Amino acid sequence: MDDLQFRRQAYGDPNNQSDDFLAHLAENEDDAKFVKDLKAFDQKLTQALKIDVPEDLADKLLLRQQLNLHQQTKKRGRYMMAMAASVAFVVGVSFSMLRFTPVNLSENSLAHVHHETKALIMEQDIGFNDVNFKLASIKGLSDSKFIKQPGRVFYTAYCDFQGVKSLHLVMADELGNKVTLFIVPAENRVVLEEAFADNQYKGQSFQTADAYMVLVGEPASDLDFVKKEVENTFI
Amino acid sequence: MFGTLRKKKADVAVLSDMVTKQRRYDSLVRALHTDIFRYAFWLSGDKHVAEDITQETFLRAWRSLDSLKDDKAAKAWLITILRRENARRFERKQFDYSDVEQDLLEDVYSSSNEDETEQYWLRRQIGKLDIEYREPLLLQLIGGFSGDEIADMLELNRNTVMTRLFRARNQLKEALDTPEVRGQSNG
């Protein structure tokens, strides 16, 4: 290690612990003394840098942070309130939209039949008492019931006509063609069409004392037969 | 209604998180505010400015405390924030450089003690150092950082840092060894 390099290292960091540097110090007494002086000088410098710190600085720092935190929480509280309010608003608006839009029974019925294809595959044999049990839990239909078995019932389930809980039955006509029957409790916003059809199914609907009946079946099926059956058994 | 549901589930976890964070911050403040304040002072040359910068630094540190993964790196992290805060100060308003030494004169030394005369003088000399020489020296002596760490923090290469440290000590030592200058500055 030459002298220039040594001085550079010594001035750069008198506490240098590298092997080169320490070896150099061990060999050169004068340089060792020089480094010792530099270390003493560093001590002085370090002392000089230690200016007084305001006594309450740490407390001030903590206080400032606490105040800041408090403000943030307050702001977040307001934000949460605003969020809750707007969510409530949206829920309210969409709920009332849902409740007051007219329900087109025929369109909905066709959609249901297309959608629930599995209903037409079911081969259960459900007694009219089970159907009555289901009817009883529908609001607006709790007094209605079948007084006897309306032919074979293959399938029954609740379904939803835009917010109106209804009953979905699969029955059969004279020749065994499956016919879907929807029993919908009477509601002001329901729009009824007596006969309707699309390219796969035809349908008709009629009204009883407190329910709308919608029948949907394939074009070959005899809807009138089922209609009579229902009229005779449902009160 | 959503509020209470959400609160019940998350409250306990959030609360303990907050407590941990608060404790961590408390110890950070207590352990490092002295060094940070001193660093800020030697950077700005003014006690009030130093206090402001220290406040800003610790507030910023609180906000991003989660990003500090390794507590050993806390000091370097805080100094990085502090240097950014200090630079921001220059963006905010044009700072008059010639004020630095004036402030230094007024603020720090009113001691009459004989022992402290040398310290008074030394402080003035440190204050007079160019910032580019002063800052590595501060990092070495106040921060206790190695040459490599200083190079990282100042985004310089290590040789430049060592050269600057060399010049800083050299200048201070020369000033110390030149009695006329010393006499002048005292007189």
Q: Would residue B105 count as lying in a domain?
A: no
Residues B4 and B89 in one domain: yes
Closest among B51, A12, B159 to B43, alpha carbons compared = B51
Looking at residue B136, its pLDDT comes to: 92
Q: What is the CATH number of the domain that holds B140?
A: 1.10.10.10
Domain boundary among B27, B60, B93: B93
Distance from CA of A76 to the nearest CA of B (A): 12
Q: Do B141 and A49 touch (CB under 8 A)?
A: yes
Q: How high does pLDDT run on average in chain A?
A: 84
Cα–Cα distance for residue pair A228/A232, rounded to 1 Å: 6
Q: Do A62 and B126 touch (CB under 8 A)?
A: no
Residues B50 and B119 in one domain: no
Residue of chain B with shortest Cα separation from A7: B166
Residues whose CB is less than 8 angstroms from the CB of residue B65 and which lie 6 or more positions away in sequence, other chains included: B21, B24, B25, B28
Looking at residue B79, its pLDDT comes to: 92
ipTM of the complex model: 0.71
Residues B86 and B161 in one domain: no
Looking at residue B103, its pLDDT comes to: 47
Q: What is the CATH number of the domain that holds B2?
A: 1.10.1740.10
Looking at residue A104, its pLDDT comes to: 78
Looking at residue B109, its pLDDT comes to: 47
Q: Would residue B117 count as lying in a domain?
A: yes
Residues B6 and B84 in one domain: yes
Q: Would residue B186 count as lying in a domain?
A: yes
For residue A58, list chain B residues with Cβ-Cβ distance below 8 A. 29-30, 33
Mean pLDDT of the region A193-208: 84
Tens of pLDDT along A103-128? 777 888 888 888 888 778 878 888 88
The domain A103-233 is classified under which CATH number: 3.90.1330.10, 3.20.20.140, 3.90.1150.10, 3.30.200.100?
3.30.200.100
Cα–Cα distance for residue pair B9/A73, rounded to 1 Å: 18
Tens of pLDDT along A160-194? 877 778 888 888 888 888 888 888 887 777 777 78
Residues B1 and B89 in one domain: yes
User: Could you tell me the mean pLDDT of each successive run of 10 residues in chain B, 187 residues long?
Assistant: 56 77 88 92 89 91 86 88 87 56 47 66 86 91 89 90 91 77 46
Query: B143-177: buried (b, 16+ CB within 10 Å) or exposed (e) per residue?
Result: bebbbebbbebbebeeeebbbbbbbbbebbbebbe
Cα–Cα distance for residue pair A149/A126, rounded to 1 Å: 9
pTM exceeds 0.80 for this model: no
Q: Which domain holds residue B67?
A: 1-93
Residue in A49, A50, A70, A86 to test binding to B, most B beta-carbons within 10 Å: A49
What are the extents of the domains in chain A?
3-49, 103-233
Q: Return left, alpha or beta for B130; rule: phi > 0 is left, psi -120 to 50 is alpha, else beta.
A: beta
Residues B57 and B116 in one domain: no
Q: How confident is the model at residue A88 (pLDDT cuts 50, 70, 90)?
A: very high
Interhelix angle for B2-44 vs B131-141, to 10°? Answer: 120
Q: Residue A38: pLDDT above 70?
A: yes
Q: Would residue B101 count as lying in a domain?
A: no
Q: Do A49 and B25 touch (CB under 8 A)?
A: no
Q: Residue A51: pLDDT above 50?
A: yes
The more confidently predicted of residues A38 and B1 is A38
Residues B85 and B125 in one domain: no
Residues B88 and B116 in one domain: no
Residues B131 and B49 in one domain: no
**Angle, vertex CA A49, rays to CA A45 and CA A52, nearest 5:** 145
Q: How many domains does chain B have?
A: 2
Mean pLDDT of the region A134-143: 80
Q: Do A57 and B51 touch (CB under 8 A)?
A: yes
- Is B141 in contact with A42 (CB distance < 8 Å)? yes
